[in-house]
Chain A
Amino acid sequence: MDHNEALQSQACEKYLLGELSPAQRDAFEEHYFSCSECAIQLRSAADFLGASREILAASPVQLPKPNHAPAPHRWFSWLLRPAVAVPAFALLFLLIGYQNFVTIPGYKHAAAPRVLPMHSLITANTLGDDQLTFTVLPDQPFGLYVDVPYEPAYSTYLLTLLSPSGAATPLRSLNAAEAQKTQIIAINPGRQAGKYTIVVSGLASSTADSSSAKELARLQFTVEVRH
């Protein structure tokens, strides 16, 4: 635990109220033994509470004034009548059953972790190699390992996807450091089979206009959709 974490989590107050888990308590103790500011905070709070206990014990007992909520107006008490409550609960149970057996399993299925099929464009020929063909299921995204042709003259690299219909979709912008590493790009061809191209363009500076980008490479691949 560092100082900011201790402050943000109100660790001092929680510690004195006994609200920290054993692990959090140990972490806070490790911190305040080394952090003079937290040690002072803790000391002050402990001194204040210790002396308060003494003073409050010596002061005449006052009747606590709990914030008792006033008796609620019973405007909705008719809801509790059996004629209304029984059908309402039946409907509620139906709703819960539908959620448990239909809605939630659907969400679980949708949210289940899936492994992204991966293909590589590292060997793609920038002059237009149409040998790379990836077979995917309809609407199934896949990942591509891509090596960007790095040139010191360019500090920013733009990756654009051209679909078989010719539509251009910006994929990613990379800085020079990123461009020197293999990148993973997720592509979702949907149901559109055909020849795709990733166009790599270079910009001399990150603030330069994208229209001034120079095309550095075209990485082509073909997608076959297996129905």
Chain B
Amino acid sequence: MQLFAFDDSYLKRLRDGDPSTESHFVVYFSQLLQLKLRARFLAPDAVDDLRQETFTRVLRSIRADSGIREATRLGAYVNSVCNNVLLEHYRAGNKNVPLESKHFEMPDKVISVEKQAITEETRATVRKVLDQLPERDRAILRAIFLEEQPKDDVCRSFGVTRDYLRVLIHRAKDKFRSLLGP
């Protein structure tokens, strides 16, 4: 992803509807919003709806006369708008939508060519990182993130601690980042 600084110029371009800035803004915050919303165990449909609603409100506010003017607060603003959208969603009584396991495997509805290429590159790099991991660590990742076994059971079964899980993820992530490059 092309890196932009969240400064006054960025905010102005966003206000003026500059397509590349707008696209960067949506790509940058999409994944963060998705992680945030998924951490609440919401169904993917709800995640998409709430993400869209957040973007709509943030962009509307940026373009309004009384909207956000402090570029450094942009991230915090997106987060707080998402919090409001989330609260409204809960109030609307949708909080008990059960999350089915198949939801996790649902592919994105729109996959761009660019995204496909990044995904392939990412996949190749991740494969490389996984190949370099000890077999036990791969089995731990499989148990937790694929088979979704309770973490305490996994720790007991493999004779590791919770700290080990964090360190495992931390190291794998760093290795992944270093292989992927800047």
Selecting from A56-64, A101-109, A185-193, the interface stretch reads A56-64
Check B170 against A10 for contact (C-beta < 8 Å).
Answer: yes
- A14 CB within 8 Å of chain B: yes
Which of A19, A46, A66 is the one whose CB lies under 8 Å from B159?
Answer: A66
Note all chain A residues with C-beta closer than 8 A to B28. Answer: 39
Q: Which residues, 61 to 95 on B, are CB-close (under 8 Å) to A?
A: 72-73, 75-76, 78-79
Which of B122, B129, B160, B170 is the one whose CB lies under 8 Å from A13?
Answer: B170
Asked if A52 meets B130 with Cβ closer than 8 Å, knowing A13-B170, A30-B76, the reply is yes
Known interface pairs A17-B144, A44-B180; 12 further A-B residue pairs with C-beta atoms within 8 A, sorted by A's residue number: A13-B167, A41-B173, A42-B32, A42-B35, A45-B169, A45-B173, A46-B35, A52-B126, A52-B141, A55-B127, A56-B130, A56-B142
Note all chain B residues with C-beta closer than 8 A to A68. Answer: 159
Q: Which residues, 14 to 30 on A, are CB-close (under 8 Å) to B?
A: 14-19, 25, 29-30
Which of B126, B139, B151 is the one whose CB lies under 8 Å from A65?
Answer: B139
Mask of B141-178 contacts with A, CB within 8 angstroms, 1/0: 11111100001000001111010011101101100110
- Taking Cβ atoms with an 8 Å cutoff, the residues of A that contact B are 10, 12-19, 25, 29-30, 32-36, 39-49, 51-57, 62, 64-69
Give A77 Cβ to nearest chain B Cβ, in Å.
Answer: 23
- B100 CB within 8 Å of chain A: no
Which of B32, B157, B176 is the one whose CB lies under 8 Å from A32?
Answer: B32
Give B28 Cβ to nearest chain A Cβ, in Å.
Answer: 8
- B13 CB within 8 Å of chain A: no
C-alpha gap A7/B41 in the complex (Å): 25
Note all chain A residues with C-beta closer than 8 A to B146. Answer: 52-53, 56-57
C-alpha gap A15/B133 in the complex (Å): 22
C-alpha gap A75/B79 in the complex (Å): 59
Check B166 against A17 for contact (C-beta < 8 Å).
Answer: yes
Check A48 against B35 for contact (C-beta < 8 Å).
Answer: no
- B23 CB within 8 Å of chain A: no
Cβ contacts A to B, 25 pairs, < 8 Å: A10-B166, A12-B170, A13-B167, A16-B169, A17-B165, A30-B76, A32-B32, A33-B32, A35-B75, A36-B6, A44-B173, A44-B177, A44-B180, A47-B176, A48-B126, A48-B129, A49-B169, A51-B123, A51-B125, A55-B126, A56-B141, A62-B142, A65-B136, A67-B158, A67-B160
Which of A25, A49, A66 is the one whose CB lies under 8 Å from B39?
Answer: A25
C-alpha gap A41/B31 in the complex (Å): 12
C-alpha gap A39/B76 in the complex (Å): 12
